[in-house]
Chain A
Amino acid sequence: MSRHRGRGMASINYPIGMNLGGDPSQALVHSNPSGKFTVALSSIDLGQGMKQVTRQICAETLGIPIEDVFVDTADSDTGPHCMGSFASRGTHRAGNAVLAAAREARGVLLEAAAEELEVDPGDLETDGRGTIRVRGAPGKSITVKEAAQAGQFKQGRTIAGRGIFLVPLSPVDPETGEMSPATCYAHAAMVAEVEVDDETGVVTVVRLDSAYELGRALNPRMVEQQLVGGAWMGVSHALYETPEPYYPDPKAGGRDFVEYLMPGPGDIAPHDIAVLERPAPDGPYGGKGPGEMCANPVIPAVANAIFDAVGVRMDTLPITPEKVLRALKAQGGARPQHRAGR
């Protein structure tokens, strides 16, 4: 009767956006007379950070400070159509729509500025701090606010832009499955270290080491949020969760958070993460989307680590203490493998 340690790994990829495409998103970007911009969307922020990631894309594209942009989600009367927030499509699809809308708005802003400065719009650049300058002519500049005011009150321009992003719908060949499911993929590899108690069957995740490639990390702090929280969910899926613990027998389903188990704040393992960024050629500033895939590699990595620790293959989720004990009993006890990474 003892505790056994083991390590396991898994590597995965994940498609970005709705499978087969055909899932457009639109954005409207417009300025008030002070050069403060609003992004109107019907995309949903469910915590993943839709508002902030599109806000950064808009500010970067317009070349203005982040404080001068706010994103409004979501009102079907004011926000143009979006398929929704699922299938890791938010950053890629809505982000591209905002990029297009902000580009168009920037074009008008620079035209307004050019008219005031009596130069060609092509000679203008933004400094990201609220000023539009003439390239190579220091001192010749106008603020975004002044340009927006002039555009709206003197020149009669709408400092605004529209954007849509659509990956056209792919057909699927019935016989071969030939199809165009996605335009880019995120990647990950995960190492889980577990401790298995062969008396109780309890599996404890001791540590996680991972590498995630998710295109350009548009906001590293929000990427960290997704990866840390997503890996927690992966551990939860691997070891704890199901509304049907005896599936496919439908008996004994959890009705509350006392019966439906998830790891609590005392059950979390240190997680050391490396982020790689291979920009997606068609992503907004190369962004892909880390939201969904981050839980996926954890589950098999934990299962493989259990095998390394005690020599049983756990092929049915969730890997509860009961299942581990039954497997150990069938095997005649723990048989540590200690083969992973040594």
Chain B
Amino acid sequence: MLEFRKDYFADERRDDLDVIGKGVQRQDMLGHVTGTTTFFDDHKMAGMGHLKVLRSPHHHARIRHIDVSQAERSPGVRRVIRGADVPRNLNTLLGLIGFGKDDEPSLATTKVRYRGEPIVAVVADSERLAHEALARVRVDYDPLPAVFDVEEALKPGAPTVNDVYPGNAFEYHDRFDHQRVRFGDVEAGFRSADHVLEQRYQMSPIEQAPTETNGSIAAPETNGRFVVYTPTQGLFFSLDTCAKILDVESNALHFVGGTAGGGFGGKVDSLTEPLAILGAMLTGRPVRYVLGREEEMQFGGPRSGERIVIKDGLMRDGRIVARKVTVWFDSGAYTRLTSYGAVKCAAHVPGPYTIPAVHGDFYCVFTNRTPATAMRGFGVTGVDFALECQMDKLAALAGMDPMEFRILNAYRDGDMKAHRREAKNTALVECVQVAAEKARWPIREEFRRASSRTGGGGERARIPPTPKDTSPPKRTAGGSTYTPSVAPPPASSWDRPAASPPATPFQERFAMPPPPPAPMPRPASSQPPAPPPPEPADRREPPPPAAPGPGTTRFSSVFGTRRR
């Protein structure tokens, strides 16, 4: 089943350590097989209240009126919670690192923006009594037109999903509705290419589906603090999110977790913790809020649907000379973490290959569906599907074996990547070689001899002249944007751009006879990009909030300081 190829990279490794590299038993295994591993829901407390939420039946609707009077009189109800009860009923997860604007309420008050959005919470003596009370809540809605397709959402006249981002796109760097990658001259590359192939791909949304659903139990502790049992994937991330929403100091909360029944990215969003704690605050009792499986599947944030368009310029000899990638991430109704995933995707393009011209546009788009979030391979899994299907098509176009085609184009130590950092510690070539060997897939001798450690660098380490993108920076129609407040760190050894290029032509890296040289893209200008022209004053957006002064920041156990 599994073998170790110790013959590869043996000179970079010590294999004589005591316990590192040994398959010793897991610390948690005995607990797992005896059932003594303690998960959050295994904490049982006397007098526990059970919280359940009423969810929107509409994809998009204005809320005209909410009547909870019948629900409040329902048997076993300890408390009905509405949006007005939430101290800070607007949050965005990455606001803790100053990325993005608060755009998501804990409980909707004036509008619902996806089917399943929470509106009212009930704490009752049992889950059943909570459900019975929720059935007595009356909500009047004015249904609104909804949009579900990412490209439709960006068209003029599309319904506005998220009022904080009226153009239906997350705003990057205060001025773009997308994140850009510009490296070399793709248009020149397409002109010089023997083949140009443009293809569309669609990654489906996917549910993380951990066997343990999201949930938490919050209870009053001593000194006015609250203890929270949680399966969150980020203990302090969740703690600080809750402290912000509930407007309490972070040391008012005591989070206990660290053992989760699977996560896969589905337990990053603090789906239940804020309301469980608020329920405990408002009732003085332990409160348990656990998602049912249908809630988890339909209303816990999934991996986003991603639409991907790839356009490649290919030479007859199999070299890719230009790659243009556009990705629309379907964020659903709110940002959650998709804005981050899109930048991670931007960093990943063009995949593990050295291509002298790369152009990428990455959009985080709002639609009227359950907000998407992280999942295993976040920002990468979808685009890898597209890139590797595209690679298979390109290999066919060039008449090459798919394995040999990968090795020909693989990045190697010393190559410049599209995000302008040098590749190091690479091993794609070797993986392809070993996979071919295992599958008894014949590849030619020169490809079996190739190495990630040789053939890179030189001309391939060059940052190609990049024409300035003259397309106007499209702004979303929204207001101000926060930008990261953290100062750029000094470049460290691994992220320093490579020095100027030694002169090894791009195509001389292979053991095989070099194919006829492709013209290197000639840029219109090799000057560094100038700052974008200022907008006319009458079109300028309101200025961003003033820098926080004394008293407006406070200590955050996650990130040091944060805005209030």
Whether A and B touch directly in their complex, counting CB atoms under 8 A apart, is answered as yes
- Of the candidates A57, A76, A184, A275, the one having the most CB atoms from chain B within 10 angstroms of its own CB is A76
8 Å CB contact of B21 from A22, A184, A217: A217
1/0 contact trace for A31-50 toward B, CB 8 Å?
00000000001111111010
- Interface window among B67-75, B119-127, B486-494, B543-551: B486-494
Taken together as a complex, chains A and B put the C-alpha atoms of A182 and B424 apart, in Å, by 11
Instruction: Knowing A211-B438, A279-B12, say if A295 contacts B377 (CB, 8 Å).
Output: yes
In the complex, how many angstroms separate the beta carbon of A222 from the nearest chain B beta carbon?
7
Majority-rule SS of B interface residues = loop
Instruction: Knowing A74-B257, A212-B431, say if A315 contacts B239 (CB, 8 Å).
Output: no
Count of interface residues, chain B, beta-carbon cutoff 8 Å: 151
In the complex, how many angstroms separate the beta carbon of A198 from the nearest chain B beta carbon?
20
- Residues on B with C-beta less than 8 A from A72 are 258
Tell me whether A281 is interfacial, beta carbon within 8 Å.
Answer: yes
- Interface window among A131-139, A140-148, A246-254: A246-254
Tell me if A341 and B180 are in contact (CB < 8 A): no
Tell me whether B84 is interfacial, beta carbon within 8 Å.
Answer: no
Tell me if A317 and B435 are in contact (CB < 8 A): no
Tell me if A250 and B378 are in contact (CB < 8 A): no
Majority-rule SS of A interface residues = loop
- Interface window among B44-52, B105-113, B133-141, B168-176: B168-176
Tell me if A60 and B205 are in contact (CB < 8 A): no
- Give the residue name and chain of the B residue nearest to A128 (CB): B18
Number of A-B contacts (CB under 8 A): 475
Tell me if A247 and B21 are in contact (CB < 8 A): no
8 Å CB contact of B384 from A172, A242, A277, A300: A300
Taken together as a complex, chains A and B put the C-alpha atoms of A52 and B183 apart, in Å, by 42
Tell me if B235 and A79 are in contact (CB < 8 A): yes
In the complex, how many angstroms separate the beta carbon of B497 from the nearest chain A beta carbon?
8
In the complex, how many angstroms separate the beta carbon of A175 from the nearest chain B beta carbon?
4
Tell me if A247 and B427 are in contact (CB < 8 A): no
Tell me if B378 and A317 are in contact (CB < 8 A): no
Tell me if A44 and B257 are in contact (CB < 8 A): yes
Instruction: Knowing A42-B236, A170-B489, A176-B420, say if A222 contacts B26 (CB, 8 Å).
Output: yes
Tell me if B200 and A315 are in contact (CB < 8 A): yes
- Give the residue name and chain of the B residue nearest to A10 (CB): B388
Tell me if B352 and A13 are in contact (CB < 8 A): yes
Interface size class of A (residues with CB under 8 A): 35 or more
Tell me if A271 and B1 are in contact (CB < 8 A): yes
Instruction: Knowing A189-B432, A209-B439, A228-B1, say if A248 contacts B330 (CB, 8 Å).
Output: yes
In the complex, how many angstroms separate the beta carbon of B487 from the nearest chain A beta carbon?
9
8 Å CB contact of A220 from B4, B377, B421, B440: B4
Tell me if A177 and B181 are in contact (CB < 8 A): yes
- Residues on B with C-beta less than 8 A from A87 are 374, 378
Q: Could you write out 28 A-B pairs with CB less than 8 Å apart?
A: A9-B402, A10-B384, A11-B406, A46-B264, A56-B22, A59-B18, A75-B258, A83-B558, A172-B173, A172-B179, A179-B343, A181-B344, A185-B425, A191-B436, A211-B433, A219-B23, A237-B206, A242-B204, A243-B302, A244-B305, A247-B204, A250-B148, A253-B298, A256-B293, A276-B8, A295-B376, A313-B389, A317-B385
Known: A19-B347, A51-B27, A191-B438. 15 other contacts (CB 8 A): A9-B441, A10-B391, A42-B235, A46-B267, A52-B24, A73-B259, A77-B254, A82-B235, A83-B558, A171-B488, A187-B430, A247-B205, A274-B437, A277-B8, A292-B378
Residues of A within 8 A of B (CB): 7-15, 19-22, 41-47, 49, 51-52, 55-57, 59-60, 63, 66, 70-77, 79, 81-87, 128, 167-172, 174-185, 187-191, 193, 209-213, 216-224, 227-228, 230, 233, 237, 241-244, 247-250, 253-257, 260, 262, 270-282, 285-286, 291-293, 295-297, 299-301, 303-304, 307, 313, 315-318, 339-342
